[in-house]
Chains A and B, each alone.
Chain A
């Protein structure tokens, strides 16, 4: 690889020549960039001789349960999670169902505006409804561990284009019995916790929610046939191209991915300094 072509907001293309390239675009944009960079040498996408670029997409799907409590839940008082329980992370049946945590989101869909949308009311009826209902709902949410599955993948949308006219990423994502097992158990835990609290109107959210944690689409490994980058994050197929970010994850675990991404970035920086002889500031 000798140069990268990029465009600014004015859509004018520029070329950047370098001896070494590092791509850090996350679990969706990194594989998309590689797929968009297909050419005569790599007809299925840059660094994609294994055919594994954009495959094995993982997320942290979540399930949630809402309920009504008699006391005040102090909704939306603070903007970050203050209550998380990891008791159900590593249990005896981890091999048969996904790990999950239980957390209480700070805002659980009952800000005044959300109550407006739910009620369909207006005028004094609406303001009275908001004053009565606000602060009496609670939500328990459980992000779920997800296993890699090659059927979960990203490809280029044949119709939808981005601002630059390039195909948008299209995500195909399904969850299997391992993840569903974790979700079912999480819902049972939610129900027990809420019953112990005396909550009423318990409703399991019918939809699988997302934590927007993307990963696993350019997996790391020693074997070029079963991975995209090696243990030092160098692409097997393109020796001067490195990938960094959650796309190189082999599994997703349950922890939020940021600290792992940071650790990998620091490790990559050390590796590049040691092997290129150049200081990176």
Chain B
């Protein structure tokens, strides 16, 4: 599903964030991406989301070669990837409903279909009663749930998350992780960057650890 082979990412200031990184993530797998800050976690996720492109090497996602994907096709590629951010990235002047509906509106779904799927998605994250609220009226954990609902509303085969529990207390973090597990159980490939080792060490999923842009010793 996700296939990195000999991927380098060098920034204009000559800083090398990724140095010959290779790894695979199978379809339907759930895995964590860990490593100290500056190890290249964010860069790796940005390459998958095509926010940035690799300097060298090949990135295959969904059988698509990202190094060769033309710019105008990027929006359509991104629709097949749900992304959850640490700071939620919600639109603060739109209601919860409108925030979650955004990917469907972009994809041009019909009005009825949007209503149906937004409610299903909000139901899954336990926020069905808060459709009409503005994001500021919600707690941090609830805002993160809205972000997750938005990421999964168009049923993407891949779900990426960048420090989704970074600002949450342990109980809320556990709830959020359970949510990700539920999506994984219905077949979604889930890839979560986190440094919450205490939490993920209790979970039975693969950990991909980066160290200075390479796989750390001990990775499978």
Chains A and B bind each other: no
Chain A positions near chain B (C-beta within 8 angstroms):
none
Residues of B whose CB lies within 8 Å of any CB of A are: none
